[in-house]
């Protein structure tokens, strides 16, 4: 709160005056003499000084001169006199108000508080005034009068400079003196934005153009010589007028921005009171498959799915039409092509001033994938033998995640949180008091890289919408995931004023996908072990081949996602051995020509087993099974392809499989020592193996040996 110093030699009046002012403001100090004032000002700076205009003018002038020289405080004058001339002098000195002491003390104090509040608020408003003036005396006079009232004055007197300045900065008004020479005043007025008030300063010699200027729509005309009180009153009036118009337009722009973010983040429709569609956004058309033309004028039953019970719609219409309340529920709809989609829906009646329904608006979030994943997960757990109670519990947890998936926050340009909804506090574990004013880093997970958020901020600061998935950590240290859409909110000048983020909690989906992937991974290892068990291979062979393959893929430059995929798929490289007879597969001696042809067929068998799946892991495993016995020089099987015609998955698994097989005991051979293995790899570089992979193997040999040691057979 700003501080006020009251200086009044009349102790009786001053004491009562300060008492009343303190009840309205609070931080008020009283001084009854010049010496006491000097002492107080040496101890503290005061924002505002209310000083009594004493009958002893010379003493008052001493005080006024002292205050103007030694402080930056803004002055408010009290006086028993209505001396107009002296009042004009004080306003020219930057005095904020000249108040008559014989008025009610309460009225005087309220005027002081209102003046201070208005001037304080103006600091945060558009307070720039462009002064078109070439008289240094007039410029100084206007600056003295207005700067103390928190206006910022920019003075120009050349036509091009004026237009450039108006383009570079936003002004709340233009003060144009018609006595400025070498300017076409009419042309200038025509080129000033009509939203900016124009105040004309006119002498007695400009009557000839005043009529033309008036026709151009200037806001006000002030005749010279200028009365400071009238001048201040009109400047304050037009500033207030400008700010009201500006704020109204800004609110309309922000409202449009909010509507835009809702349109982008949700599936939106509006209907008239009879239920006929009057508006659909692009998301509605996209998910339903209907065009806007096909939907407008139709009832929503155009997308109604037969699975939806009629009672659900009766309940919805009773809620929004009869009770005039918001309805929330889950709705299954039918697309134009016959497919279905499921939406989490909020339907709300829009009421007019008479509490009559004007229209209905519905906002929806697509939860089809969530519902399908939930159903799939339930089926998987039934297959694995989990109890019905466990499956139902998971379904309830998933339902909870859906019901709490709309998380909203707003931040300022520095990233400080200015608003959160209840669901944000629920998912983060923090209270509103702990979050407001803080940055979103309070919930940042340490796994999230700085580069991720740099890209995010670069996007939204450029005015673009950002979408993505973020991993967060709540107050208890637990991880949660949110699909996030962040939209820059702009004012009417397209300037970003804040950011709004809409999130959906997808933690349960991520956890389900991870669990399903782990289940698939376990199944894949088991399948790989089946093939190896039939040929009596060592227990950890498939695990070592998987890890060797992943390491080689990373060294080769594959993405972490692709390397991970190969890690999951490579254990099934010999799955085709399940189709090889024991007489061939387990023969301790050398195979004859016919037996060798049978053995080679395991590559084709494995490929046929896996290739018909649509799963990325099994598709990758099919390639590995088919091509891991092909050789760089074309002498391999089953197709005899060579070089880079062999898929990189096959080339990598070939090296990994041979390295582990040579170092392991088999029914038909003893394990080789490292020296013999390394000699073979060097000799087969560019023959059996991809030369680049052989080089990477030797350059990173310690890493491969560490894997072998960690997972060696007991």
- Does a structural domain hold residue 255? no
The CA distances from residue 31 to 8, 17, 79, 122, in Å, are 7, 12, 16, 29
* Distance in angstroms (rounded) separating the CA atoms of residues 263 and 282: 8
Is the separation of the CB atoms in 115 and 97 below 8 Å? Answer: yes
Tokens of 160: 């091009």
* Distance in angstroms (rounded) separating the CA atoms of residues 533 and 525: 12
529 in the same domain as 490: no
Nearest by Cα to 199 from 114, 139, 130, 286: 130
pLDDT at residue number 387 = 43
The 10s digit of each residue's pLDDT in 640-683 is: 999 999 999 999 999 999 998 898 876 556 789 999 999 999 99
676 in the same domain as 529: yes
- Does a structural domain hold residue 542? yes
Q: Which has the higher per-residue pLDDT, 343 or 388?
A: 343
Region 375-386 average pLDDT: 51
Question: What is the number of other CB atoms lying within 10 angstroms of the CB of residue 79?
Answer: 20
Region 338-347 average pLDDT: 91
pLDDT at residue number 289 = 94
pLDDT at residue number 379 = 57
pLDDT at residue number 219 = 86
Q: Tell how strand 340-351 and strand 357-366 pair up.
A: antiparallel
The residue whose two tokens read 């918001």 is: 326
* Distance in angstroms (rounded) separating the CA atoms of residues 506 and 453: 19
Region 230-252 average pLDDT: 86
The residue whose two tokens read 């934005």 is: 193
Tokens of 398: 């998933």
610 in the same domain as 551: yes
Tokens of 588: 């301790």
679 in the same domain as 624: yes
- Does a structural domain hold residue 142? yes
Q: Is pLDDT of 399 > 50?
A: no
705 in the same domain as 571: yes
Helix (H, G, I), strand (E, B) or coil at 331: strand
Query: Any idea what the CATH number is for the domain that residue 154 is in?
Result: 3.40.50.2300
Is the separation of the CB atoms in 198 and 192 below 8 Å? Answer: yes
The 10s digit of each residue's pLDDT in 421-462 is: 888 998 999 999 999 999 999 999 999 999 999 999 999 999
Q: Is pLDDT of 520 > 60?
A: no
Nearest by Cα to 393 from 381, 406, 409: 381
144 in the same domain as 116: no
DSSP 8-state symbol, 179:
T
Q: Give bridge partners of residue 129 from the DSSP assignment.
A: 153, 173
pLDDT at residue number 340 = 93
208 in the same domain as 111: no
Say which residues have a Cβ less than 8 Å from residue 641's Cβ, sequence separation at least 6: 627, 630, 634
pLDDT classification of 353: cutoffs 50, 70, 90: confident
Tokens of 388: 């019905």
Where is the domain boundary, 121, 148, 167?
Answer: 121
Where is the domain boundary, 473, 505, 537?
Answer: 505
Region 332-357 average pLDDT: 90
pLDDT classification of 696: cutoffs 50, 70, 90: very high
Region 221-227 average pLDDT: 84
Intra-chain end-to-end CA distance of the chain, in Å: 77
562 in the same domain as 684: yes
pLDDT classification of 402: cutoffs 50, 70, 90: very low
Number of domains in the chain: 5
Q: Is pLDDT of 73 > 50?
A: yes
Say which residues have a Cβ less than 8 Å from residue 663's Cβ, sequence separation at least 6: 671, 672, 674, 677, 708
Query: Any idea what the CATH number is for the domain that residue 474 is in?
Result: 3.30.450.20
- Does a structural domain hold residue 380? no
pLDDT at residue number 632 = 96
671 in the same domain as 560: yes
- Does a structural domain hold residue 367? no
Instruction: Give residue 173's domain range.
Output: 128-249
Q: Is pLDDT of 302 > 50?
A: yes
682 in the same domain as 556: yes
The 10s digit of each residue's pLDDT in 175-217 is: 999 888 888 888 999 999 888 999 998 876 666 677 788 788 8
* Distance in angstroms (rounded) separating the CA atoms of residues 570 and 566: 6
Query: Any idea what the CATH number is for the domain that residue 663 is in?
Result: 1.10.3210.10
552 in the same domain as 466: no
Helix (H, G, I), strand (E, B) or coil at 6: strand
pLDDT at residue number 401 = 42
Give the whole-number percent of the chain exceeding pLDDT 90. Answer: 35
Give one DSSP letter per residue of 447-510, joined into a string: TS-HHHHHHHHHHHHTT--EEEEEEEE-TTS-EEEEEEEEEEEE-TTS-EEEEEEEEEE-HHHH
- Does a structural domain hold residue 578? yes
pLDDT at residue number 333 = 94
pLDDT classification of 153: cutoffs 50, 70, 90: very high
User: Among the residues of 74-195, which ranges form H helices?
Assistant: 84-92, 105-122, 136-147, 159-168, 185-190
532 in the same domain as 489: no
* Distance in angstroms (rounded) separating the CA atoms of residues 258 and 490: 10
User: Which pairs count as long-range contacts for 198-203, CB under 8 Å and 24+ apart, including other chains?
Assistant: 198/173, 198/174, 199/173, 199/174, 199/175, 199/234, 199/235, 199/238, 200/176, 201/133, 201/175, 201/176, 201/177, 201/226, 202/178, 203/178, 203/179
- Does a structural domain hold residue 376? no
**SS3 letters for 216-275?**
CCCCEEEECCCCHHHHHHHHHHHHHHHHHHHHHHHHHHHHHHHHHHHHHHCEEEEECCCC
Where is the domain boundary, 505, 525, 551?
Answer: 505
Region 140-159 average pLDDT: 88
Give the whole-number percent of the chain exceeding pLDDT 70. Answer: 86
* Distance in angstroms (rounded) separating the CA atoms of residues 73 and 540: 83
- Does a structural domain hold residue 274? yes
The CA distances from residue 6 to 16, 17, 390, 645, in Å, are 11, 9, 75, 92
What is the overall mean pLDDT for the chain?
Answer: 83
pLDDT at residue number 547 = 92
* Distance in angstroms (rounded) separating the CA atoms of residues 188 and 628: 81
DSSP element (H, E) containing 30 = strand 28-31
DSSP 8-state symbol, 353:
T
Helix (H, G, I), strand (E, B) or coil at 188: helix
């Amino acid at each position: 709160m700003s501080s006020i110093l009251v200086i009044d030699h009349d102790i009786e009046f001053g004491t009562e005056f300060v008492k009343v002012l303190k009840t309205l403001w609070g931080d008020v100090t009283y001084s009854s003499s010049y010496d006491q004032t000097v002492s107080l000002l040496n101890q503290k700076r005061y924002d505002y000084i209310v000083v009594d205009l004493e009958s002893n003018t010379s003493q008052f002038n001493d005080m006024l001169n002292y205050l103007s020289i030694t402080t930056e405080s803004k002055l408010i004058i009290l006086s028993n006199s209505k001396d107009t001339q002296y009042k004009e002098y004080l306003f020219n000195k930057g005095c904020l108000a000249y108040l008559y002491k014989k008025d009610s003390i309460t009225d005087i104090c309220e005027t002081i508080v209102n003046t201070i509040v208005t001037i304080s608020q103006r600091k945060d408003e558009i307070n720039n005034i462009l002064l078109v003036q070439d008289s240094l005396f007039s410029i100084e006079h206007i600056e003295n009068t207005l700067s103390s009232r928190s206006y910022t004055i920019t003075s120009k007197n050349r036509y091009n400079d004026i237009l450039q300045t108006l383009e570079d900065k936003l002004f709340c008004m233009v003060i144009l003196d018609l006595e400025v020479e070498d300017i076409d005043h009419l042309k200038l007025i025509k080129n000033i934005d009509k939203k900016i008030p124009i105040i004309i300063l006119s002498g007695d010699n400009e009557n000839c153009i005043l009529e033309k200027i008036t026709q151009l729509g200037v806001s006000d005309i002030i005749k010279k010589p200028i009365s400071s009180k009238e001048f201040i009153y009109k400047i304050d009036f037009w500033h207030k007028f400008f700010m009201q118009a500006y704020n109204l337009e800004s609110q309309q722009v922000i409202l449009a921005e909010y509507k835009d973010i809702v349109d982008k983040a949700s599936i939106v429709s509006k209907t008239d009171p009879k239920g006929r569609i009057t508006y659909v956004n692009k998301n509605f058309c996209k998910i339903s498959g209907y065009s806007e033309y096909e939907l407008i004028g139709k009832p929503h039953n155009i997308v109604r799915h037969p699975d939806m019970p009629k009672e659900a719609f009766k309940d919805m219409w009773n809620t929004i039409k009869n009770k005039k309340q918001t309805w929330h529920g889950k709705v299954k709809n039918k697309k134009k092509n016959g497919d279905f989609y499921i939406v989490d829906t909020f339907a709300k009646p829009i009421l007019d001033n008479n509490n009559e329904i004007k229209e209905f608006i519905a906002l929806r979030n697509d939860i089809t994938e969530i519902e399908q994943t939930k159903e799939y997960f339930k089926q998987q757990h039934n297959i694995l033998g989990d109890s019905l109670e466990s499956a139902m519990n998971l379904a309830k947890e998933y339902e909870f995640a859906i019901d709490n998936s709309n998380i909203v926050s707003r931040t300022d340009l520095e990233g400080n949180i200015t608003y959160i909804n209840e669901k944000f506090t629920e998912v983060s574990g923090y209270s509103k008091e702990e979050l407001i004013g803080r940055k979103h880093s309070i919930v940042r997970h340490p796994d999230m890289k700085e580069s991720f958020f740099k890209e995010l901020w670069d996007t939204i600061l450029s005015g673009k919408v950002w979408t993505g998935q973020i991993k967060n950590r709540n107050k208890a240290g637990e991880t949660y995931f949110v699909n996030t859409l962040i939209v820059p909110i702009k004012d009417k000048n397209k300037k970003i004023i804040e950011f709004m983020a809409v999130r959906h909690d997808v933690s349960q989906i991520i956890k389900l996908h991870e669990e399903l992937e782990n289940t698939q991974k376990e199944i894949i290892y088991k399948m790989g072990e089946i093939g190896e068990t039939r040929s009596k291979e060592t227990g950890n062979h498939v695990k070592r081949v998987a890890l060797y393959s992943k390491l080689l893929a990373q060294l080769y430059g594959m993405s972490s996602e692709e390397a991970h995929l190969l890690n999951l798929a490579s254990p099934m490289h010999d799955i085709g051995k399940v189709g090889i007879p024991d007489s061939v597969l387990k023969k301790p001696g050398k195979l004859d020509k016919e037996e060798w042809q049978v053995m080679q067929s395991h590559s084709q068998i494995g490929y046929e087993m896996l290739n018909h799946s649509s799963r990325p892991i099994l598709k990758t495993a099919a390639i590995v099974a088919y091509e891991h016995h092909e050789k760089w020089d074309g002498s391999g099987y089953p197709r005899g392809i060579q070089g880079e015609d062999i898929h990189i998955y096959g080339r990598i698994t070939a090296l990994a499989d041979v390295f582990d097989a040579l170092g392991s005991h088999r029914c038909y051979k003893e394990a080789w020592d490292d020296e013999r293995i390394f000699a073979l790899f060097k000799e087969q570089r560019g023959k059996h193996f991809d030369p680049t992979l052989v080089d990477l193997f030797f350059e990173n040999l310690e890493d491969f040996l560490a894997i072998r040691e960690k997972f060696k057979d007991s």
